[in-house]
Amino acid sequence: MRVLMTGGGTAGHINPALSIADKIKKENPDAEILFVGAKGRMETLLVPAAGYKIETMNVSGFQRRLSVKNIGRNISSAFRALTAGAECSRILKKFRPDIAIGTGGYVSGPILRKAARMGIPVVVHESNAYPGVTVKMLSKYADAVLIAEMSARKYLPANARVLVTGNPLGAEFSQYDRETARKELGLDERPMVLSFGGSLGAEQINRVMAEVLIKSAHQGGLQHIHATGKKGFEAMKGRLGEHIKENTPGIHVREYINDMARCMAAADLVISRCGAMTLSELPAAGRPSILIPSPNVAENHQYHNAMALVNKGAAVCIEEKNLTDDRLWNEIKRITSSPDDMRKMGENARSAAIYDASDRIYAVVVQILKDRKKYKAD
C-alpha cells in the first residue's frame, strides 16, 4: 500500500495525519507513506521527527482580513497557487500513491485536487466541528469526508459521502484513571481545576487565571494546575509572587503540560481553548469544561467546537470578549461546588467520545481501496 498524507500548518492538522499514518503502518508494516507539506511550516519538523518522509511545496494560505500587507500576501499566494499544479503532478507521478489522505490546511488543497483528477482515491478528514474552507472545497472531489463530530455534517454538501469517525487519540486518554493520576501528581481530594491556553499560551487567559489563582489560594477550597505556555510563564510567576507565597499548596504553575492525559484524568474541571484535539480529548477523558474559544482562528472554528460540547450539556462557553476574572471565578465556584453537576457534565462529555477513531478511519481507507480494485476488475 502506497499512501500520500497531507495536511499542515497547525498541530490540529498534523497530529491527526500522523495518527492515521501510524495506524496504517501498524496494520501494514510494508506500507510506504509520504507526507506532503508546506515549506517552512510546523509539519517539516514534526513529520520527520515521527519517522516519515516529507516533500514540501511552496504554497501559502490566503489572508481574510483586508490590509495593504495582506493584499500583497494574497497576490503572492495566488501566484504560488498557479504554480502548485506542476509541483503536485511531479510528486504524484513520482510516488504513485494508491490513495491520498488529507487532514486540512491550505497545503492539502492543490495536491488532493490534483490526485482526484488523476484518478487517485481521495479521503479527507476534518477534525473541527466547523469544516474549513479547504475541506469544504475538497468534499466535491473526495471518495469520503470523515468528520470528528456530527454537527459538522450540515456544513458540507448534501451529496458528499460523509462518515463520523472522530479524531484519532492516544490510548492513554481512555486508560488513565482518576485515582492513579492524582496520586502521581501529588494531589489531595479537593476539586482540581486544570487550565491552559495552548503551547504558546494565551495572554488573556493567563491574565485572568492569575487573578483566579490568587483568589483560590486565599480561599483554599480548590487546587490548580495551570500551564502558561512559553510566553507567559515569567509574567505569571511575577504576578502571583506579588500576592501569594511561592509553592503555595494547591497552586501548580507550569510552562507546558507534557502529560495531558494524566492531568485531564486527575482534573474535576478543565478550562481551555477549544482546538480540534481538545474537542476530542475532553470527551475521551469525560471531563466537564469551561471553554474560551480563540477569536484569532479561521472561520471562528473554536467557537463551533465549544458549542458542540455546550449543546451536549458538557461545557460552558465564555467568549474572550466577555472574559473577566470575576466571571471565570464565579463559573468555577458554581460548577465545582456541585458534585452532581460536575458528574453530569462529565457523563455528557463522555457520551460524545469516540475511542476507536483510528480503527474507523483505517476501515474506510481499506474499503475504498477494495471498491476501487473491484471497479477496475469489472
What residues have CB less than 8 Å from 373, skipping those under 6 apart?
Answer: none
- CATH architecture assignment, domain 172-350: 3-Layer(aba) Sandwich (3.40)
Whether 345 has a pLDDT exceeding 70, the answer reads: yes
For the chain, what are the domain ranges? 2-169+355-377, 172-350
Q: Is 321:292 a contact under the CB 8 Å cutoff?
A: no
pLDDT at 178 over 90: yes
Q: Is residue 351 very low, low, confident or very high in pLDDT (cuts 50, 70, 90)?
A: very high
d(CA 136, CA 109): 10
pLDDT of the residue at 376? 67
pTM value is 0.85
Q: Do 2-169+355-377 and 172-350 show the same overall fold?
A: yes
Give the pLDDT confidence of 276-311 residue by residue, as tens digits: 888 899 999 999 999 999 988 877 889 999 999 999
- Which tens digits make up the pLDDT trace of 220-271? 999 999 999 888 899 999 999 999 998 899 999 999 998 999 999 999 999 9
Q: Does the structure show a pLDDT above 70 at 82?
A: no
What type of residue sits at position 42?
Answer: M
Tell me which residue of 125, 122, 127 sits closest to 140, measured CA to CA.
122
Q: What is d(CA 205, CA 302) in angstroms, rounded to the nearest whole number?
A: 15
- Cell numbers found for residue 276: 480540534
Kindly report, residue by residue over 309-324, the tens digit of the pLDDT. Answer: 999 999 999 999 999 9
pLDDT at 180: 94
Q: Classify domain 2-169+355-377 at the CATH topology level.
A: Rossmann fold (3.40.50)
Please report where in the chains the cell 514540501 appears, as a residue: 56
Q: Report CA 43 to chain centroid distance, whole Å.
A: 14
Q: What pLDDT shows up at residue 59?
A: 64
Note whether 101 and 138 are within 8 A (CB).
no
- Reported as a single tens digit per residue, the pLDDT across 35-76 is 998 888 888 999 999 999 999 998 645 445 555 555 444 444
Q: Residue 132 belongs to what H/E stretch?
A: none
Cell 507534557, residue? 258
A 10 A CB-CB count for 15 gives 21
